[in-house]
Amino acid sequence: MKFTYRPSRPSSRLERLLGRLAGDRPQTPKPRFPIDLVCNADVRIDPPHSRDDDS
Amino acid sequence: MTLSIHSPDELIAAIPHLLGFKAEESIVFVPLRADLPLARVDLPTTASQRNEAWGAIRGAFSRYAQPGASVAIVCMTHDQQAADLIGHDYAVRLASIGIDTPLKLSADATDWYDLDSGESGVQSEGARNRLAATTVLAGRAHPVSDRDALATSLVGDREPVAQFLLRTRDESAQRSPGQDEQWALGRLQQFQADGVRLSDSDAARLLVTVESIPVRDELWNDMRRDNANSHVALWTDLTRRAPDEVRAGPASLLGFAAWQSGNGAMAWCALDQVPKDKRYVLADLVAAAIQTGMHPREWEAVKAAPPQREVERGSDFILGHARAQTGPTRPAPGI
């Protein structure tokens, strides 16, 4: 089964904006199980001795 | 949210806080100092499932991969043999698009294991406490027990607000649209200032008011990554309390806010609360953004651009990342 996003007549400026941004992407197969994508996660692997320097 | 991790133990302790729930029988890809997304998938135990999961995440990873990009692979399972097979399988796949995997771990309920070195250790209470404190300070909610609990947290008692809807609609019909719009913006600002849960009558009025697309867009336009947590709190509460007829708007706004704040699982759970009986464009759009691993900063870039440059600036952002990639710039159509 293909992920078939269609703009479905966005009716506002923000919808059109998001539609053009999100719609301008390669279609991906819709998985049969949930896939959770999280953005904004930035994990740093630091040496143990730097622990006290954390801000 | 930036987390400083000093050991495999701490990395595993961080995962529930990054996802918003405790993942079991899952594989988690944790970005290490990069703009890559963090991804969680139910543990794909067959080759077919691994191919399917890879097809779904490959685009998001390859789009944002830059030279030196790396992720940690963590298999949350009691089956060490499966973890070893799956962890190394995905390490090879990620290497094919230029992403290094310097850390490959598995974790059961009590211990962690390094899939490369064979080293192991106990998941310590100290690491859990430290990461919990760090993430709470960063404004993250305490993780729930599992993904189902996250979905359940969006279903509340919807009868109290339902009892106000008819009267609220009658009162709204006697006001000008501008009055309701002003009220909605003011009510949003009040919530952002005091964080106090809306009364049933205010909740009903806001839910009826956001049925108007222009008003809903005014509230949507207020969302930024620096106030996304406040929007998540407001729309979570209203999604919990909204009867079916007025839930598409708040659930979609929650989906967008959750995606902006970096909580993909919550965003999916919010979209699941949009009633299925009629199509709601914003819900479809948010689903498309999440599904393709779009980074929230792309939205901010196009929203901040002058109208004639809106989409072009977003494309510049994508192309800027694509130019820096070492792997394929985009997956083949249909992947």
Nearest by CB: A18 against B214, B289, B335: B289
pLDDT at res. B317:
38
For A16-29, the pLDDT digits (tens) are 899 888 776 655 55
pLDDT at res. A7:
45
Distance CA B29, CA B37 (A): 8
* Distance in Å, alpha carbon of B159 to nearest chain A alpha carbon: 30
Q: When comparing pLDDT for B293 and B29, which is higher?
A: B29
Q: When comparing pLDDT for B62 and B82, which is higher?
A: B82
Q: How confident is the model at residue A4 (pLDDT cuts 50, 70, 90)?
A: very low
pLDDT at res. B331:
29
* Distance in Å, alpha carbon of B255 to nearest chain A alpha carbon: 13
Distance CA B142, CA A55 (A): 21
Interface contact flag, B6 A46, Cβ < 8 Å: yes
Interface contact flag, B57 A37, Cβ < 8 Å: yes
For B194-218, the pLDDT digits (tens) are 999 999 999 999 999 999 999 999 9
Contact B282, A15 (CB under 8 A): yes
Chain A contact for B315, CB < 8 A? yes
pLDDT at res. A41:
60
Interface contact flag, A38 B37, Cβ < 8 Å: yes
> Tokens for B142?
């305490």
For B100-134, the pLDDT digits (tens) are 999 999 999 999 999 999 999 999 999 999 988 88
- The closest of B141, B128, B133, B155 to B263, measured between CA atoms, is B141
Q: How many residues does chain A have?
A: 55
Interface contact flag, A37 B220, Cβ < 8 Å: no
Residue in chain A nearest B27 by alpha carbon? A35
Interface contact flag, B279 A12, Cβ < 8 Å: no
> If you count residue pairs, one on A and one on B, with CB atoms under 8 Å apart, how many are there?
198
Residue B49 burial class via C-beta count within 10 angstroms: exposed 0-12, middle 13-18, buried 19 and up:
middle
Looking at every residue in chain B, the average pLDDT score rounds to 87
Chain B contact for A9, CB < 8 A? yes
Q: Which of residues 24-43 of A touch B (CB under 8 A)?
A: 24-43
Interface contact flag, A43 B14, Cβ < 8 Å: yes
Fold of B8-146: Cytidine Deaminase; domain 2 (3.40.140)
How large is the C-alpha radius of gyration of chain A?
A: 19
pLDDT at res. B326:
29
ipTM above 0.95, yes or no: no
Residue in chain B nearest A46 by alpha carbon? B6
Task: For chain B, give every domain's residue range.
Answer: 8-146, 159-294
Q: Which one of B58, B291, B299, B335 makes the best mutation probe of the A interface by having the most chain A beta carbons within 10 Å? A: B291
Mention every residue, 6+ apart, whose C-beta is less than 8 A from residue A33: B41, B42, B49, B53
Chain B contact for A48, CB < 8 A? yes
Stretch B141-160: mean pLDDT? 91
Residue in chain B nearest A37 by alpha carbon? B39
Stretch B166-185: mean pLDDT? 94
Highest mean pLDDT among B32-41, B121-130, B261-270, B310-319: B121-130
